[in-house]
């Protein structure tokens, strides 16, 4: 494994990080360790059935690397087209999901916390973006 950690730095290689399931698809999370509460960076393969979700504490930045066909971002019910090298800043409380297959880099500040991933319970009155 190509991972190096010191008191003052850390180096990780995405090829060595196992992917985990997430509401967006599959995510590889670099620097997601109990001793790091500052920031994490994720390589995410967005699936076509990504779920809308939000975070109460996290701010996320998406950097779109690749898209397969049309790609969009739903942010609090509004839909925005995406193309490679687009960036999206998602603040706490913003309900969001990516639409379409794509690869992204996701930066989470503070560091990603799986306990801060909130899915709304669907109801007949729930808008389609939730």
Give the pLDDT of residue 99: 96
Distance CA(63)–CA(81), nearest Å, equals 13
- pTM for the model stands at 0.87
Instruction: Say if residues 71 and 103 touch (Cβ distance below 8 Å).
Output: no
| Amino acid 125: pLDDT | 53
Average pLDDT of the segment spanning 16-20: 96
CATH superfamily of 24-114: Jelly Rolls (2.60.120.10)
CB of 116 closer than 8 Å to CB of 57? yes
Per-residue model confidence (pLDDT) at position 126: 47
What are the structural domain ranges in the chain?
24-114
**Tokens in use for 68?**
């397969």
């Amino acid at each position: 494994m190509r991972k190096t950690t010191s008191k003052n730095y850390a180096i990780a290689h995405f090829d060595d990080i196992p992917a985990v399931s997430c509401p967006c698809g599959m995510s590889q999370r670099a620097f997601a360790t109990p001793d790091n509460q500052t920031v994490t960076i994720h390589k995410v393969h967005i699936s076509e059935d990504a779920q809308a979700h939000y975070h109460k504490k996290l701010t996320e930045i998406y950097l779109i690397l690749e898209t397969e066909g049309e790609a969009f971002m739903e942010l609090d019910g509004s839909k925005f087209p995406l193309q490679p090298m687009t960036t999206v800043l998602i603040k706490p409380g913003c309900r969001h999901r990516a639409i379409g297959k794509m690869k992204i880099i996701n930066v989470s500040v503070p560091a990603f916390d799986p306990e801060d991933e909130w899915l709304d319970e669907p109801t007949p009155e729930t808008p389609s973006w939730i």
